Amino acid sequence: MSASPVAAQASTVRQFYVLTKPRVVQLIVFCALIGMVLAVPGLPSWAEMRLALLACVGIWLVSGAAAAFNCIVEQGIDAKMKRTAWRPSARGELGKRQTLLFSAVLCLLGSILLYVWVNPLTMWLTFATFVGYAVVYTVILKPLTPQNIVIGGASGAMPPVLGWAAMTGEVGPEALILFLIIFLWTPPHFWALALYRVEDYRKSGLPMLPVTHGNEFTRLQVLLYTFVLFAACLLPFVYGMNSWIYLFAALVLSLIFCWYGFRLWRNYSDELARQTFRFSLTHLSLLFAAMLVDHYVL
């Protein structure tokens, strides 16, 4: 029995929504929102709240467009990997022309919204982030170098900068500190995933670090990056962006992340790599949440 036209339409909408990688985009918008909040001293006015809402929608649209474009480029790779084989593009449920048009429309709508109702700087920075992720990282870096995550991490670290620019019309040193934290967080986050998904990456042909340099070398890199990240997480306190509440959270979360990295280095298991990957998400989310609490309480 064939599906009704309404059910079929709903299924197609759902497939396009999946292409935007909702969980990833939610984290992007959350990080951008942190930049917006920290850029505004005290409680925001109604006008500032409206501006922040418009900026979040615009950033969501362009980020979703970049994710959809990524699905086009990596359709063949996604089909080979268990983690991504379920995506509509990988299963052939959506064609490349459909997906490309969807990506272009989202990018255009988001860019117009940011340019007209936020400010041109935010639009151009967001569009540059789209190009950095969808083209420079996905098309060029990812298939060519095991340092793809490190170099390409610059695009993933941009959301707080976008948020800061949306509210102030400029990029301040505080925004660059937030950028640095995410930039240094990205390698241990993704390499922990790559460690227990190494066979998927090997089958896909992508030169991820565990494939090209082995498990032991990758584990050492994860550990070293958690140490450098620890130092970066102290910068908001050192610079005066945040106070003691944030410092306490940063110390606890960073110590736990270093402990995961140390255990992973000494006694590897796929389960521990999964735990490290999951905690990396908790680390970044709680770290930025502590920034919010600190910003309003002190």
Do 22 and 82 have their domain in common?
Answer: yes
Q: Is 125 helix (H, G, I), strand (E, B) or coil?
A: helix
Provide the whole-model pTM: 0.87
Residue 270's CATH number: 1.20.120
Do 234 and 189 have their domain in common?
Answer: yes
> 260-286 pLDDT, tens per residue?
999 999 999 999 999 999 999 999 999
Candidates 195, 179, 180, 171; CA nearest to 265 is 195
Domain count, the chain: 2
Do 162 and 185 have their domain in common?
Answer: no
**Distance of alpha carbon 9 from the chain centroid:** 30
* CA–CA distances in Å: residue 218 to residues 188, 210, 268, 271: 9, 6, 11, 16
> 163-206 pLDDT, tens per residue?
999 999 999 999 999 999 999 999 999 999 999 999 888 887 77
Do 176 and 166 have their domain in common?
Answer: no
Q: Can you give the length of the chain in residues? A: 298
Do 76 and 196 have their domain in common?
Answer: no
- Triad 205, 180, 178: Cα angle to 5°: 125
Do 229 and 125 have their domain in common?
Answer: no
Tell me, yes or no, whether 5 lies in a domain: no
Q: Which domain holds residue 191?
A: 172-298
**Distance of alpha carbon 90 from the chain centroid:** 21
- The last residue of a domain, from among 125, 145, 170: 170
Tell me, yes or no, whether 193 lies in a domain: yes
Residue 137's CATH number: 1.10.357.140
**Helix (H), strand (E) at residue 265:** helix 244-266
| 274: its two tokens | 């999964």
- The last residue of a domain, from among 111, 140, 170: 170
**CB-hemisphere CA count at 13 Å for 122?**
34
pLDDT at 208: 86
Arithmetic mean of pLDDT over the chain: 87
- The last residue of a domain, from among 145, 170, 195: 170
